[in-house]
Amino acid sequence: MIRLRCQLFHGTNFEVPYLPSRPSVMTVHDLSPWINPDWHQSAGRVRARCPMLIRLGIATMVIVPTQVVKIQVIAQFRTAPSRVVVIPHGASETFRPGPPSNRPPYFLYAGTLEPRKSLGHLIAAWREVRRSEAVDLVLAGRARSDFLMPAPEPGLYLTGEVSDRELSALYAGAIAVVYPSQYEGFGLPVLEAMQCGACVFISRDAALREVGGGAALSLEGMKAWVEALRAAAARPQWLEDRRQMSLARAGEFSWEQTARATREVYHEAMRRFSVTT
């Protein structure tokens, strides 16, 4: 950092330099490596390094995406609340209401395919709904190596990774975007979907509810998921109010706001570093 004449270092993924020669800011996206190590079996270095960097004050400031994660970071790493700043994410302007994807009626999950996302339960709920409603389930995203791929069956489609433009059309055309994750720090697909005017169903995860802000319908348990999916498939007019709620909620986020708030954290980190040194 000295050689490069850096004024400040921002580690965007759980890390900053061990030698605090300059002020630094660390982004902690979530605490999933600590909540369940099985979710991130290759994250041993993160679990060992991050607590030390925060507890010893080597990271001058910490950025988190939600109030939920702030509370978790303070408790997990025993750090002062004033060092942890909540800065929500934004969504790309590519995600906006537009022409829908040219598909038969479908529900959409978008994101990494991994055990934490509870996709097995989602598929089971959709399968029950499909007994009476002609609706497909589309899973869009990269499959991690530890994800158990579902057996092929009629109406279930795995697209793999898609471009933002393709994903925007998928969001816009879905009966509902479904995100049953067990744990999130923010849940960017939820915001992307709302920005496209999609109706969104989420789990009871606290961070997802914080981002959804009441615009996303929060569900718990197989029965609730089956009932909500069935209602959405059978009575699409029921969804229109929720689509308007999604657009209104998404309007409260932007990358410009994120950038401005992040710059303020940089200034605060430099002020604090100059005082302590």
User: What is the chain's pLDDT, residue by residue, as a tens digit (277 residues)?
Assistant: 555 568 999 999 888 988 888 999 999 999 999 998 888 877 778 888 988 899 989 999 999 999 999 999 999 999 999 999 999 999 999 999 988 778 899 999 999 999 999 999 999 999 999 999 999 999 999 999 999 999 999 999 999 999 999 999 999 999 999 999 999 999 999 999 999 999 999 999 999 999 999 999 999 999 999 999 999 998 877 788 899 999 999 999 999 999 999 999 999 999 999 876 5
- pLDDT confidence of residue 102: 81
Q: Which residues contact 254 (CB under 8 A, 6 or more apart)?
A: 90
Q: Are residues 185 and 137 in the same domain?
A: yes
Q: Within a 13 Å sphere around the CA of 236, how many CA atoms are in the beta-carbon half?
A: 12
Q: Are residues 124 and 223 in the same domain?
A: yes
What pLDDT, in 10s, does the model give residues 192-201? 999 999 999 9
- pLDDT confidence of residue 88: 98
Domain that holds residue 142: 106-250
Q: Within a 13 Å sphere around the CA of 144, how many CA atoms are in the beta-carbon half?
A: 15
Q: Are residues 233 and 272 in the same domain?
A: no
- pLDDT confidence of residue 272: 93
- pLDDT confidence of residue 213: 96
Tell me how many degrees the CA angle 105-110-112 measures, rounded to the nearest 5.
Answer: 145
Q: Are residues 111 and 244 in the same domain?
A: yes
Q: Are residues 154 and 82 in the same domain?
A: no
Does a structural domain hold residue 166?
yes
- Full 3-state SS string of the chain: CCCCCCCCEEECCCCCCCCCCCCEEEECCCCHHHHCHHHHCCCHHHHHHHHHHHHCCCCCEEEECCHHHHHHHHHHHCCCHHHEEECCCCCCCCCCCCCCCCCCCEEEEECCECHHHCHHHHHHHHHHHHCCCCCEEEEECCECCCCCCCCCCCCEEEEECCCHHHHHHHHHHCCEEEECCCCCCCCHHHHHHHHCCCCEEECCCHHHHHHHCCCCEECCCHHHHHHHHHHHHHCHHHHHHHHHHHHHHHCCCCHHHHHHHHHHHHHHHHHHHHHHC
Q: Are residues 157 and 21 in the same domain?
A: no
Q: Are residues 83 and 115 in the same domain?
A: no
How many domains in the chain? 2
- pLDDT confidence of residue 277: 57
Chain CA centroid to CA 149, Å:
22
For the CA atoms of 190, 151, 155, 246, what is the dihedral angle to 10 degrees?
Answer: -10
- pLDDT confidence of residue 180: 98
Mean residue pLDDT of the chain comes to 93
- pLDDT confidence of residue 158: 98
Does a structural domain hold residue 172?
yes
Q: Return the CATH number at 34.
A: 3.40.50.2000
pTM, 2 dp: 0.93
Q: Are residues 110 and 244 in the same domain?
A: yes
